[in-house]
Amino acid sequence: MFLYLLQNIWILLVSCKNPKDQFLNDFGLFINDTEANFDQYTDTEFKIVEINFIEFKEKEIDLKDYFSESEKKRLKEYHNRFRKAKIKRDPLNNLLEIFIEA
């Protein structure tokens, strides 16, 4: 019985992630998925992706005090990767972004 209880506690501890860590993981998966599929999204689907990105940015603001410098650097890279996918998907409507990047 004790061993069973100990195993359950271990599983619970391993499965419970820090909200910041969970956010970084979820945001990274979202960016990977966006990069892999940006050219297959319809305009409506990409609008939903953009809304999701905005929601991630809002959550990032809520957690900003908890990120280390390396995590902040990773988040900046996520933002850049999203911007690049957005530009590649529709270069004509993102001319300003292209000039800013250059």
**pLDDT tens, N- to C-terminus, the chain (102 residues):** 434 444 444 444 445 578 999 999 999 999 999 999 999 999 999 999 999 999 999 999 999 999 999 999 999 999 999 999 998 887 777 666 666 665
* Nearest-angstrom CA–CA distance, 44 and 10: 43
> Residue 8: what pLDDT?
44
**What letter would DSSP give residue 91?**
S
> Residue 89: what pLDDT?
84
Crossing angle of helices 19-37 and 43-63, rounded to 10°: 160
